[in-house]
Amino acid sequence: MTTADRQELLRDLLGELPADRAARLAARLAVEPELAAARRALAERWQALELPPAAPAPLGFAARVRARAEAEAKEARAGWFGFGAGLLPATAAAGVLAAGVALGAWLGAGLVANATPTPA
């Protein structure tokens, strides 16, 4: 069986084959037992993949989602200068890191400049 045959079987199973091609495939299935067995196996696997019907959402779910979304939007608008509440700690951390790098570079440069060669 070729890849094209497998694709044809799958398209037939999904109902995507045009009527003329579906008729040709049905004729082949009647005379080719290997192809018919592959079609049955594919149909069995496809049936096993079907999901059960979706359960309805619990009562009040939509109202809880809407309330939470509105609360989060309000919290975001209340942040510093409209940038959001999480921006201030991130900015402070970046500033501390930059100050530490600058201080380390300044101290390191001073140590190198004051270093005296040791006699050999």
Q: State the average pLDDT over residues 68-93.
A: 72
Say if residues 14 and 25 touch (Cβ distance below 8 Å): no
Please tell me the chain's helix, strand, coil percentages from 3-state DSSP, rounded to the nearest 5: 75, 0, 25
Angle between helices 33-49 and 19-31 (to 10 degrees): 120
Say if residues 17 and 8 touch (Cβ distance below 8 Å): yes
Q: Who has greater pLDDT, 18 or 82?
A: 18
pLDDT tens by residue, 22-45? 999 999 999 999 999 999 999 998
Reported as a pLDDT band with limits 50, 70 and 90, residue 82 is low
Please determine, for residue 113, whether its predicted confidence score (pLDDT) is greater than 70: no
CA quadruple 36, 38, 44, 50: dihedral sign: negative
Rounded to 5 degrees, what angle do the CA atoms 106, 108, 111 make?
Answer: 110
Please tell me the predicted confidence (pLDDT) of residue 23: 93
- C-alpha span between 1 and 12 (Å, rounded): 16
Average pLDDT, the chain: 81
pLDDT tens by residue, 40-70? 999 998 888 877 788 888 899 889 999 999 9
Q: State the average pLDDT over residues 70-98.
A: 73
